[in-house]
Structure 1
Amino acid sequence: MKINKTLQVNAPASKVWEVLYTNYGDACHWASTVNESKEREVAGSDYIGRTCSTVFGDVSEIIDRADEEKMELQYHLDDTPFIMKAATAKWKVKPTSINASEVTMDLDVTLATIPALLMGWMIRPKMRKDIYQTLEDLKYYIETGKQSEVKINSDAKYFKKKGKKAA
């Protein structure tokens, strides 16, 4: 399953890049699909990884490459929830003016065979909707400095279920 989405953000590209790459381990601060996240070291890699508790299950990611000049980032999941076999994400940030930028995300997800056969009709549209929402969360967070209402609600539900208070 491939998802490609581009959106305009009313902020300098450097600010978007900071959230996506410099603060890579902090996705839980803005993404409604990520309730907990933390940066991690990756043995034998020039890059870091992160672990995330997501609406799809726990995932572990490793950055494959990052080009700070071009503002391009690519990472893959090295530990996936049961519904996924593999996933790779590519992000590009492009300045469109001094205070505006364009963010593109290309996501390639391979669902695990049994979940794809039994529930693919349900998983694919939900995943697409959630990823589009994540991009909207990013835009809102960068433009306002606050979490989106969807993010706040997602955390409240997650932490209530987990027995903690939302961050």
Structure 2
Amino acid sequence: MKIVNKIKINAPIDKVWNILSVDFSRVSHWTSAVITSTENPDLPKGDGRQCELPDGAIASETLLNVDNKRLTFSYEVKLSSMPFFVKSMINTWHVEENGKGQSRVTFEIAVTLLPVFTQIMGPLMKKQFNKLANMILDELKYFSETGKIHPRKEEQRKTSLAKEA
């Protein structure tokens, strides 16, 4: 099952590429889909990240490839709470020029399910992943264009600080 979402961003491709790829382990700084993110301590430096998700799950993400010329990269995601019927999940990002000073970003999620669950869980998972991808892309657009975090992320930070106090 593949879920592909795209967005146009009014920011140059190098800026967007730096946010996504160069600052790969800093994803929690701009999206509310991730509470905290760090280099993955179980991998060589630069080979992946660990992310704490809003539901408390930990995502261990291992880079599979990075192509700085084509501005694309992929990583495998393993969740601490991965359902047994999910065999693999690979996310791929691609940034391309969309006019002077503008970018188009493609975010693809490829999920392999146990065959019997493809028909049962596939449609529901596709709907959830589309919603998540659109939210992440919207927050990336906002951050890329303004240099500020999206109001959803700001609210998440305030809530986290209030819980810690």
Is the TM-score greater than 0.5? yes
Work out the CA distance in 2 between the residues paired with 1:85 and 1:160: 36
Instruction: Mark the CA change 1:120 to 1:6 in structure 2 (over 3 Å): closer, same or farther.
Output: closer
Question: What is the one-letter code of the residue matched to 1:9?
Answer: I
Give the corresponding residue for 1:64: 64
Structure 1 residue identity aligned to 2:138:
E
**Aligned AA (2:63):** I
Cα deviation for residue 80 of structure 1 reads 4.2
Where in structure 2 are the equivalents of 1:121-140 lying within 5 Å?
124-140=126-142
2:123 and 2:151 mapped to 1: Cα distance?
27
Bigger CA drift: 17-26 or 115-124?
115-124
Deviation per CA, 1:101-138, whole angstroms, max 9, x where unpaired?
A: 1101111124689x989977765433321221001000
Do the aligned partners of 1:90 and 1:105 also contact (CA within 8 Å) in 2?
yes
Taking the aligned partners of 1:9 and 1:16, their CA distance within structure 2 comes to 8
Q: Calculate the TM-score normalised by the size of structure 1.
A: 0.81
Matched residue SS, 2:128: helix
Q: 2:133 corresponds to which letter in structure 1?
A: I
- Rounded to whole Å, the distance in 2 between the matches of 1:12 and 1:58 is 32
* CA positional deviation for 1:17: 0.5
Give distance in 2, aligned partners of 1:107 and 1:120: 13
Identity, % of aligned positions = 27
The answer on whether the counterparts of 1:47 and 1:62 sit within 8 Å (CA) in structure 2 is: no
1:85/1:55 CA distance change after superposition, 3 Å: farther
Q: Could you say which residue in structure 2 is the equivalent of 1:102? A: 104
Match of 1:48 in 2: 47
Write out per-residue CA displacement over residues 6-35 of structure 1, whole angstroms, 9 at most, x where no aligned residue: 111101100000000100000001111011
Q: What secondary structure does 1:55 align onto? A: coil
State the SS of the aligned residue for 1:97: coil
More strand by share: 1
Name the counterpart of 1:29. 29
Unaligned runs of 5+ in 1: none
Q: Distance in 2 between matches of 1:80 and 1:64?
A: 19
Size of the aligned set, in residue pairs, is 162
Q: Deviations over 1:84-112 (max 9, x none)?
A: 54210111110123310110111112468
Stretches (4+) displaced over 6 A = 115-121
- Structure 2's unaligned 5+ residue stretches are none
Q: What TM-score, normalized to structure 2?
A: 0.81
Q: Secondary structure at the match of 1:26?
A: helix
Counterpart residue number, 2:75: 75
Deviation, 1:73, is 0.6
